[in-house]
Amino acid sequence: MRTADIGVVGLAVMGSNLARNFARHGFTVAVYNRTYAKTQELIAEHGGDGDFVPSEELADFVASLKRPRKAMIMVQAGKATDAVIESLAELMEPGDMIIDGGNAHFENTRRREAALRERGIHFVGTGVSGGEEGALNGPSIMPGGSAESYESLGPILEAISAKAPDGTPCCTRLGPDGAGHFVKMVHNGIEYSDMQLIGEAYDLLRRGAGIEPTELSKIFSEWNTGDLDSYLIEITAEVLGHTDAATGKPFVDVVLDQAGQKGTGRWTVQIALDLGVPVTGIAEATFARALSSGTRQREGAVGVLSGPDGGVDLPESFVDDVRQALYASKIVAYAQGFDQIAAANAEFGWDIDLGSCAALWRSGCIIRAGFLDKITAAWRGNPGLPTLLAAPEFTKIVTEAQDAWRRVVSAAVQAGIPTPGFSAALAYYDGLRSKRLPAALIQGQRDFFGAHTYKRVDREGTFHTEWSGDRSETEL
Ligand code: 6PG
């Protein structure tokens, strides 16, 4: 019997593209899908990509794998994943590995890893980013799991991963149990934020400055040659330049303006709340999607709530102002995302290296961008940075951009164009750099109605004022 280097369970487009990617890199790939027709389809259409071992039964699939067995599952998150894991585990032996490449919640990954560890099986929760094309031609891969599993699995994943401009594979073991899926979740949160900011830039230039989509497509292409060079800017130019065949209108005008979401942005925000990390850019982006889809409220408000609707007088320089505001806000989004990973390190006892995260996002993934080289260098140069914004290079960028940033947010407010992403990012920046925040007043209020106590600026200790009495202060 032939023995496969790795196997893939679940041959929908992501699974089959990953299987083809493994095969194209010279690995023998076992493939299994619940409906055998899908497996046959893969072999019929792409069998020429390399050496596949198709199986109709899961037991044969497992038997066709070299020891220690490596089975990558690409099935629906939730119950389907649990069911496949259980069926595989029953057929496997200690030392074997189950790799979950889907967008699983990291808490589920932790649970599954702990349960399988008891049975001697390695469970490797792995983020895979880059969509269908990335899966086939080189995704960014974010594995968690044991160091032992990475010894034999790592080289295979690294071989099929995207390569950064300096040639290093965009695949690094990030830490035990849920670390990989956590990093992928934050990647998606940043993706939400980035997409929202680009959306706001588009809205400001279209509704505010009256620039048509074809022209905007050129502006985004131009931006893609500078600091903003990134996959998301590149595809924005493509989408804006596309004309709907049926109507001859700009494609962007015929699409219903209700953004969907599968949940990873929401998870990022939920967990950030638990960790107490202000990921305001990601939160605003997630809420903006919810607002867009809140049809009942929107229908009740359009034509009822009054205000300006773009179309204000804007100077020629506004386009470049928006570019700078976008760049600065984007840096804030990344800074917040990295803070969340650092907080998770402390909470879950991980040691995820922020420089390695930035490095493996440089190619293959959805948020790949030229400036990730700078972020990588910033974390590697000083892993103890209190915030990415404090890295000299980024301090300089946001300092230089801030006049434009403020003009853009002011213009947006005047024009009645919602820019929750730009505004939240600027407010975060101003919040961080404020010597005094109104939190002092909030502490006073809390102490007033709930005796929640406060600390003083001038001496150590915890204090309470007798608000309903003589207003004397006691030290507790
Ligand atoms: C990626 C993407 C991928 C997927 C998102 C889309 O990194 O390849 O992030 O994981 O496209 O799940 O998420 P929404 O449907 O929530 O926008």
Which amino acid, one-letter code, is at 133? E
Query: CA–CA separation, 253 vs 237, rounded Å?
Result: 15
Q: Which two tokens stand for residue 330?
A: 């984007």
End-to-end CA distance of the chain: 75
Contacts of 277 (CB under 8 A, 6+ apart): 336, 339, 340, 343
357-409 confidence digits (pLDDT tens): 999 999 999 999 999 999 999 999 999 999 999 999 999 999 999 999 999 99
The answer to whether residue 22 scores a pLDDT higher than 70 is yes
Q: Which two tokens stand for residue 366?
A: 């959805």
Query: CA–CA separation, 253 vs 269, rounded Å?
Result: 30
- Is 374 noted as a catalytic residue in this protein? no
Name all residues whose Cβ lies below 6 A of ligand 1: 103, 129-131, 188, 191, 260-262, 264-265, 365-366
Q: Using alpha carbons only, what angle is made at residue 101 by residues 371 and 12, rounded to the nearest 5 degrees?
A: 110
80-92 confidence digits (pLDDT tens): 999 999 999 999 9
- Is 184 noted as a catalytic residue in this protein? yes
Query: CA–CA separation, 424 vs 328, rounded Å?
Result: 12
- Residues 191, 200, 284, 330: which is the catalytic one? 191
- Residues 70, 184, 284, 330: which is the catalytic one? 184
Cα(144) to centroid of ligand 1, in Å? 19
> Residue 464, class by beta-carbon neighbours within 10 Å (0-12 exposed, 13-18 middle, 19+ buried)?
middle
Put simply, whether the predicted model's pTM sits higher than 0.95 gets the answer: yes
> How would residue 258 be classed by pLDDT, with cut points 50, 70 and 90?
very high
The answer to whether residue 1 scores a pLDDT higher than 80 is no
The answer to whether residue 78 scores a pLDDT higher than 90 is no
